[in-house]
Amino acid sequence: MKFFFALSLCLSMSLFCIAQEVPRSTQYIFNNILLNPALSGIDNYTDLKLGLRKQWTGLEGSPNTQYLSLSTAIGEDFVRSNINSFAGSGDNPMSRSYVNNFTAAEPHHGIGLVAMTDKAGLVRQTSVNVTYAYHLGLTNEINLSLGLSGGFNSISVDVPGIVADESADPLFSADYNNKIRPDVGAGIWLYSPRFFGGISMKQILGFRDKTRNNQVVTQAYQLPNFYGTFGYKIFLDEDIAAIPSALISYWINSPATFDANIKLAYQDKFWVGSSFRNNDSFSLLAGLNIASLVNLSYSYDVNTSGLRSVNNGTHEIVLGILLNNRYQVRCPSRQF
């Protein structure tokens, strides 16, 4: 019990010493708008996702994350309908046969929303961001989108739960710990029927707070986070596709991390996959697309770091709802 409390306290107080990273998601690769606002409106339907992640189960004070993402396109030439429309007739411009012919998106706008809350130990981090992107076709097969996000980020600490020798330390001040700070991000996304790639930056503004106690100055930082990801779709046959992908994440003053992923999909109905994060974890993933309205995915992470002996792994489940799905798309074609 003492070990668990000490770990919880360390997780809490670490916020005041280093840059705070964005909470992780094993399933980011199927919902890249979490990391890159340029994904806003990439599909021709409204994409709603609800996620729940319980990290390091069995360990007291371990991170617990909930998030919501919403994305929709704007532009009659691209969407060809509105949120109140019923299924239309005609060929789906993002069907598998379409992949082999033409995929450049009509120039259009996209908007979205990403809201997330994460509790680790005595610390709760909350962020809400509105996203915007502009998509255009560069060639018959290559598309480019540019995105921006803006909102707020707040970090609150359960100060009464902290046991310390210097309880009067200004770092424990409620006014200090419950500030709401602006949050700005930007990203670029390049995509085609066969590949995608993008770079993004979150928490561009960052912050630096100073507190003074008996002439000793303590500083807390929140610095920008950088992400780069890419992937490629390989059709093994008419029914099975393999999608290898990777992500590089970098937080200033912290080591970079690398994720390698592989997904195998059958007829866009269900899929399985695995993921590896250096010095952290190995993951198994699976998902199911139910008709053209709902998709459900689950992942389980096994730690490869020293924490593996004191926790029972990480669970994450994501529910996706495809609204205004005029062409009855079963899964996010442009996000693989």
Q: What is the mean pLDDT of residues 166-180?
A: 63
Residue 42 CA from chain centroid, whole number = 15
The Cα-based distances of 223 to 21, 22, 105, 259 in angstroms read 8, 11, 34, 21
User: Is the pLDDT confidence value at 290 over 70?
Assistant: yes
Report the pLDDT value the prediction gives residue 321, as an integer from 0 to 100. Answer: 92
Q: What percent of the chain has pLDDT over 70?
A: 71
Q: Whole-structure pTM over 0.85, yes or no?
A: no
User: Is the pLDDT confidence value at 307 over 70?
Assistant: yes
Q: Which residue ranges make up each domain of the chain?
A: 23-205+284-323
Return the biggest CA–CA distance within the chain.
73
Report phi then psi at 14, rounded to 5.
Answer: -65, -20
- Return the bridge partners of 117, or none: 66, 126
Q: Half-sphere exposure of 107 toward its Cβ, with a 13 Å CA cutoff? A: 1
User: Is the pLDDT confidence value at 92 over 60?
Assistant: no
User: Is the pLDDT confidence value at 99 over 60?
Assistant: no
- Residue 63 in 3-state DSSP? coil
Q: Where are the beta strands (DSSP E) in the chain?
A: 46-54, 64-74, 108-120, 123-137, 143-157, 180-191, 195-202, 207-213, 216-222, 225-232, 234-235, 240-251, 257-266, 270-277, 281-290, 294-303, 314-323
Write out pLDDT tens, residues 108-141: 899 999 999 999 888 889 999 999 999 988 888 8
Lowest mean per-residue pLDDT among 81-85, 172-176, 195-199, 229-233: 81-85
Question: Is the model more confident about 231 or about 23?
Answer: 231
Report the pLDDT value the prediction gives residue 335, as an integer from 0 to 100. Answer: 59
Report the pLDDT value the prediction gives residue 39, as an integer from 0 to 100. Answer: 95
- The single residue listed with the structure tokens 């710990």 is 177
Report the pLDDT value the prediction gives residue 174, as an integer from 0 to 100. Answer: 56
The band of 168, judged by pLDDT with boundaries at 50, 70 and 90, is low
Residues near 333 by beta carbon (within 8 Å), at least 6 away in sequence = 43, 94, 99
Report the pLDDT value the prediction gives residue 221, as an integer from 0 to 100. Answer: 57
Write out pLDDT tens, residues 150-162: 999 888 877 666 6
Q: What is the mean pLDDT of residues 288-308?
A: 88
Report the pLDDT value the prediction gives residue 171, as an integer from 0 to 100. Answer: 59
